[in-house]
Amino acid sequence: MRHGRLLRPGGTRPSIVAAEAKPYESSVTATHDSGSLRPERWFAGFRRTRLVLAVTAVAFAVLWALGAIAAGPALAGFALVAAAVLIATAKSESSPALLARDEPSAPRTGDPLIEAVLAALPDPVVALDHRGDVVALNARAASIAPALRPGESVSLGLRVPEVLEAIRQARASGTSQRAEFFQRVPLDRWYEVIATPISEAGFKPGLVLLAFHDLTPLRRVEEMRADFVANASHELRTPLAALSGFIDTLRGSAREDPAARERFLAIMQAQADRMARLIDDLLSLSRIELNAHVRPDKAVDLGAIVRQVTDGLQTLARDRGVEIKTIGASDPLLVPGDRDELIRVFENLVENALKYAASGKRVEIALSFGGGAEGISEARVAVRDHGPGIAPEHLPRLTERFYRVDVSESRAQGGTGLGLALVKHILNRHAGRLTIESVPGQGATFTVHLPLAVGAAGGGS
Ligand code: ADP
């Protein structure tokens, strides 16, 4: 099947017309084809010359009627004249098409048709001629390879051997070729390039189209995944190494030492618990990510959830010598939410306050209504401690997986480094957010913002 051809109606603006047409002619109107012998051309000729033919017929008829000529010669004479007129008309019709049927031309730099097509494409694309010179490129391609200039060789503006080789092979083989390359300037980016030879567009010799795809987001996700697996295995390997070390000790030097055995068994228990917590947190994270796009729709009362969490943490609070105080919980604070996930959020925040800020002796949990983004009312729960606080450079990274201000302290507290990452993911799923404020030496405030359930707008404190 033939592809569409490229025409320039009126000799200036190009257009694309459908199948079975003749090749491109760069400078001449080419709306006629070569079919001077086609039936439609004969009909068109007949329409235009019918007056001449009618007059001729009448003249021969009159001559025959007057007896000046016999019927046979009259008919033959009329047929001859009619044929001559029709042929002359058909030829005069087809003469412009002879120009259009000239040999197809090479694609030219700045060709408005090619430029218009490239500008309409969503991907960065460069069109090259058979020598590898740039015929046109769109703005997106220019931003990737600013040194590329129309009329200049692609090798001057894109010094990537893999890409130049793909272009060469595409031209030589007539098939699409793929290459990948990495660009450091102005930013680290990975690209895939597809070089596609185009020989059916009416150009001779043909074009090569270079299309770029940005692989950077894909690569970043791959890197994040690899980092995550590396971090998770490292976190698991540490307690595992401790466990096997203690097993060796218990079999060896501590074999006959009941006091040492008890101490080591307690440490082993703590390490095993830490591994279990880590696996639990990892599973929770992946479950929350799976449901990330499903918004919970059941209304739950944040006041009741906070009460349940503080009751559950009273033993830890007593152990650490910290008093937990809840403020403003008299009215129900209803939000659409997953009860278990929200319990997890406040457990993490209050537990962190008890673990890392016990020196402050007090933890306050304040529940309130507030105006959220775009004036929508929201529920706020602020967990405030009076501990050492957090230096400002750590604040933006606290919710990253495995990020800790002090790794050894987190481990000593049985932390996994996933608590605040879980909080962030759960709140994202609830269309909420977490804000953190802290002044080093004066404690920290972690505030949960959640959209209120419909009809639950704020009469509270
Ligand atoms: P972890 O399991 O280590 O507690 P989190 O994600 O819950 O992990 O917390 C990340 C880090 O944030 C902690 O290791 C700690 O350094 C810091 N952090 C969290 N809460 C507080 C707090 N209330 N005061 C001081 N530092 C905190």
Indicate if ligand 1 lies below 6 Å from the C-beta of 387.
Answer: yes
| 68-82, 313-327, 421-435: the lowest-pLDDT one | 68-82
Indicate if ligand 1 lies below 6 Å from the C-beta of 348.
Answer: yes
Mean pLDDT over 144-164 rounds to 92
* pLDDT in the model for residue 5: 31
Could you tell me whether strands 177-183 and 444-451 are parallel, antiparallel, or unpaired per DSSP bridges? unpaired
Residue 100 has pLDDT above 80, yes or no: no
Choose which residue among 386, 420, 437, 442 to substitute to test ligand 1 binding: the one with the highest number of ligand atoms within 8 A of its C-beta: 420
* pLDDT in the model for residue 58: 55
Structural contact between residues 302 and 382, judged by C-beta atoms closer than 8 angstroms:
no
User: Which pTM was predicted?
Assistant: 0.61
Choose which residue among 284, 346, 398, 400 to substitute to test ligand 1 binding: the one with the highest number of ligand atoms within 8 A of its C-beta: 398
The candidate with the shortest Cα–Cα distance to 306, out of 349, 336, 277, 358, is 349
Domain boundaries, the chain: 5-101, 112-214, 230-290, 299-451
Show Cβ contacts of residue 79 under 8 Å, excluding neighbours closer than 6 positions: none
CA dist., res. 456 & res. 337, Å (int): 13
Task: Read off the pLDDT of residues 332-378 as tens digits, 9 standing for 90 and up.
Answer: 899 999 999 999 999 999 999 999 999 999 999 999 988 766 666 89
Task: Read off the pLDDT of residues 159-215 as tens digits, 9 standing for 90 and up.
Answer: 899 999 999 999 999 999 999 999 887 778 999 999 999 876 555 667 899 999 999
Indicate if ligand 1 lies below 6 Å from the C-beta of 419.
Answer: yes
Alpha carbon distances (Å) from 34 to 19, 22, 47, 197: 15, 9, 20, 28
Indicate if ligand 1 lies below 6 Å from the C-beta of 23.
Answer: no
Task: Read off the pLDDT of residues 298-311 as tens digits, 9 standing for 90 and up.
Answer: 999 999 999 999 99
| 196-210, 334-348, 390-404, 443-457: the lowest-pLDDT one | 196-210
The candidate with the shortest Cα–Cα distance to 452, out of 364, 402, 367, 380, is 380
CA dist., res. 27 & res. 11, Å (int): 6
Secondary structure (3-state) at 59: helix
Mean pLDDT over 137-142 rounds to 93
Mean pLDDT over 107-123 rounds to 85
CA dist., res. 124 & res. 431, Å (int): 35
Second CATH level (architecture) for the domain 112-214: 2-Layer Sandwich (3.30)
CATH number of this structure's domain 299-451:
3.30.565.10
Structural contact between residues 208 and 233, judged by C-beta atoms closer than 8 angstroms:
no
Rama region for 70: left / alpha / beta (φ>0; ψ in -120 to 50; rest):
beta
Alpha carbon distances (Å) from 186 to 129, 146, 183, 239, 423: 28, 11, 8, 43, 35
- Nearest residue by C-alpha to atom 4 in ligand 1: 415
CA dist., res. 218 & res. 223, Å (int): 9
The alpha carbon torsion through 253, 256, 261, 264 (nearest 10 deg) reads 0
- Whole-number average pLDDT of the chain: 81
The candidate with the shortest Cα–Cα distance to 228, out of 417, 8, 41, is 417
Give, to the nearest 10 degrees, the angle between helix 216-251 and helix 258-290. 160
pLDDT band, residue 7 (cuts 50/70/90): very low
- Output the six-digit token pair for 350: 């209050």
* pLDDT in the model for residue 106: 64
| 34-48, 297-311, 433-447: the lowest-pLDDT one | 34-48
Same fold, 112-214 and 230-290: no
CA dist., res. 212 & res. 154, Å (int): 14
* pLDDT in the model for residue 3: 34
Query: What fold does the segment set 230-290 form as a domain?
Result: Helix Hairpins (1.10.287)
The tokens 């994040």 sit on which residue? 224
| C-alpha of residue 242 to centroid of ligand 1, in Å | 23
Cα 172 versus chain centre, distance: 33
